[in-house]
Amino acid sequence: DAGVIQSPRHEVTEMGQEVTLRCKPISGHDYLFWYRQTMMRGLELLIYFNNNVPIDDSGMPEDRFSAKMPNASFSTLKIQPSEPRDSAVYFCASSLGPRETQYFGPGTRLLVL
Amino acid sequence: GQQLNQSPQSMFIQEGEDVSMNCTSSSIFNTWLWYKQDPGEGPVLLIALYKAGELTSNGRLTAQFGITRKDSFLNISASIPSDVGIYFCAGQGVDNFNKFYFGSGTKLNVKP
């Protein structure tokens, strides 16, 4: 299997622009997670899906952030409008089940100027 | 929320030395995971622990799930330069099986 695939790997944008991050989980994994990693706060869970349904979005920072999973093989994390403090590495991870280990994608490095 | 304390924050060691790092939690965990993250990459799973007291090895790596279910350690024996990276612990709480909480990481530097 190719593992979790994320795109783009790097994104540089200007404040106020819309940013869309994409993720393809490992085939057959029913759980998909979005994380954000910063030096200050480490790895933070933003939201996770089970069978394409958002289960817990309590980690989403504010209304500017939204995530969707239209089907089992694709998810997006959108930031609109983006702000400089959103600059971070965003990871997508997937797992087979609730107690199964999560496999991470390579991440998207976002820089908002 | 859950609090995970990981130590040390960073380590500078000589190639061939053994390394030990640990994580402690303010709450009981059901699962402990240890990941390694290389620069520019996502975390990669090293070892998963599912039972209190469990001791698991993966090559030169050994990890244990503490008896109290509030701690875990990771040992690396005979370190080599490619061990360089950031090591994260992650714990799964009893209140929400789907949520893993991550430690702040231990940055390992190995001098050849």
Sheet holding A74-79, edge to edge: A5-7, A19-24, A74-79, A65-71
In the prediction, which pLDDT does A1 show? 63
pLDDT in tens, B35-56: 999 988 999 999 999 999 999 9
In the prediction, which pLDDT does B20 show? 97
Name every chain B residue with its beta carbon within 8 A of the beta carbon of A102.
33, 45, 100
In the prediction, which pLDDT does A39 show? 84
pLDDT in tens, B85-97: 999 999 887 776 5
Q: Of A43, A103, A106, which has the smallest distance from its Cβ to B102's Cβ? A: A43
Could you tell me the two tokens for A56?
């817990």
Name every chain B residue with its beta carbon within 8 A of the beta carbon of A42.
102-105
